[in-house]
Amino acid sequence: MMIKLNETHDVDLQSWVDSANSATTDFPIQNLPFAVFKVRNTDQGYRAGVAIGEYIVDMPAAQKTGLFDDQLKAALDLLSLDTLNDFMQLGEPTWSAIRLTLSRALRKGSQHQKSLEGCLVPQANAEFKVPARIGDYTDFYTSINHATNVGKLFRPDNPLLPNYQWIPIGYHGRSSSIGVSGQSFHRPYGQLKAPDQESPVLAPCKRLDYELEVGIYIGKGNTLGAPIPIEESEQHVFGLCLFNDWSARDIQGWEYQPLGPFLSKSFASTVSPWIVTMEALAPYRQAWTRPVDHPQPLPYLDSLQHRETGAVDMKLEVLIKTPSMENAERVGLSNFNQAYWSIAQMVTHHSVNGCNLMAGDFFGSGTQSGTSKDSMGALLEVTEGGKHPITLSNGETRTFLEDGDTVILRGWCHNEGLPRIGFGECSGTILPPVARS
């Protein structure tokens, strides 16, 4: 789990791709995240690409330039496929070698500039898909602020359940309805039951919400029956993305006992197209802490190295754009470094019973919220269960989302003296419910 800085993190690196040198770009040469794309309105197949400024390096095209060493040929062949799963399974040394080769080739003064220029595709011309075939998806509940805020709505005197501070809570969700940024979906139907009703009804959701989350892609898997020690956990993580786990709060309220969320979550979830590697995030690792008056993790979820570098300083923003608004408006800003449970702890706990994780498996971090109203990651929290609507700058109000609303998530790492490492956007739009006969 050692966090290692190398030449790809050099803050003085500049690229011959001019847009990558902008102070506001999400994709400087120090980032180089992966996605799966094709050129819009063509019959080309999907393949892997790497972001640099406003462009994408078409990886199969780059392979043909002779840029990469022969020992990386097998890995490059896998980047011509329409998912990253097989590439993810190769492991950290291969991911790092590909990233280093690209970093050197994209730097100012590189002898490969002329040959690589023909491999660049404008991001504006690209169509993306979910970058991995997600076999299994587990959603966690790692923000104690979110858990406390939600718990207060239902259990004011005891908002946190007894196990929360001992175990990374998670449930298995539905991977088939995860879509890529730009996803639109119809307002879901489900069973709804108001407290004063004798029986439920089938009706469109009335309390539709967003959830500001971080997505975690598993890279190299583990063998069934072989738990992943916390010291090795991040070697099994390919990278992070943004994740909106849309939630139908009224459907959820009726169905969630005793087994947790079901149809209230499985109608749609949205990921950003880019996966930022754990290596790119190395300069933004921070100490993971647990208040001294709280229960401390059991030994399998704790280590000195994890305490020193287990957190990620990643700012997270959620914006709403209603049909009558010209520009999206921020409604929340938080930071992933406040998560009560870390990436490493999620991976280790998920496998402690012998569960075999597989390349492309996906974790949601759970809604990431801060302590103030403007740092909360779901309308359920901001409006206190719908009791206190928010007012947008154009005078519109929202307790929960309405048809036509677009929700945009953004995330980035940036500190003085370090380049901005961004995640792009994760956007989704709500369509009216489909009429039922």
pLDDT tens per residue across span 249-308: 999 999 998 999 999 999 999 999 999 999 999 999 999 999 999 999 999 999 999 999
Catalytic residue among 146, 236, 306, 349: 146
Neighbours of 213 (CB within 10 A): 30
Average pLDDT over residues 58-66: 97
User: For the CA atoms of the chain, what is the radius of gyration?
Assistant: 22
pLDDT of amino acid 435: 86
Which CATH code of 3.90.850.10, 3.30.560.10, 3.40.920.10, 3.30.930.10 fits the domain covering 137-431? Answer: 3.90.850.10
Q: What distance in Å separates the CA atoms of residue 386 and residue 353, rounded to the nearest whole number?
A: 39
pLDDT of amino acid 1: 54
Average pLDDT over residues 360-380: 97
pLDDT of amino acid 2: 63
Q: What distance in Å separates the CA atoms of residue 223 and residue 26, rounded to the nearest whole number?
A: 36
pLDDT tens per residue across span 74-98: 999 999 999 999 999 999 999 999 9
Quick one: fold of 7-129?
A: SH3 type barrels. (2.30.30)
Average pLDDT over residues 326-351: 98
Q: What distance in Å separates the CA atoms of residue 95 and residue 87, rounded to the nearest whole number?
A: 8
pLDDT of amino acid 121: 98
Residues 6+ apart with CB under 8 A from 292: none
pTM of this structure = 0.97
DSSP state of 415: -
% the chain with pLDDT above 90: 96
Active site residue 146: yes
Average pLDDT over residues 174-201: 96
Q: Does position 228 have pLDDT exceeding 90, yes or no?
A: yes
Contact 92, 219 (CB under 8 A): yes
Q: Which of 123, 262, 273, 281 is nearest to 191 (CA)?
A: 262
Average pLDDT over residues 400-424: 97
Q: Does position 117 have pLDDT exceeding 80, yes or no?
A: yes
Residues 6+ apart with CB under 8 A from 195: none
Q: Does position 16 have pLDDT exceeding 90, yes or no?
A: yes
Q: Which residues pair with 39 in a beta bridge?
A: 126
% the chain with pLDDT above 70: 99
- Find the range with the poorest average confidence among 36-50, 61-75, 149-163: 149-163
DSSP state of 144: H
Q: Tokens 């989350």: give the residue.
A: 213
Mean pLDDT of the chain: 97
pLDDT of amino acid 154: 84
State the DSSP H helix or E strand holding residue 318, giving kind and residue range, or none if neither. Answer: strand 315-321
Q: What distance in Å separates the CA atoms of residue 227 and residue 230, rounded to the nearest whole number?
A: 9
State the DSSP H helix or E strand holding residue 255, giving kind and residue range, or none if neither. Answer: helix 249-255
Q: Which of 217, 205, 320 is nearest to 267 (CA)?
A: 205
Enumerate the domain spans of the chain: 7-129, 137-431
Contact 295, 166 (CB under 8 A): yes
Q: Does position 332 have pLDDT exceeding 60, yes or no?
A: yes
Q: Does position 3 have pLDDT exceeding 80, yes or no?
A: no
pLDDT of amino acid 326: 95
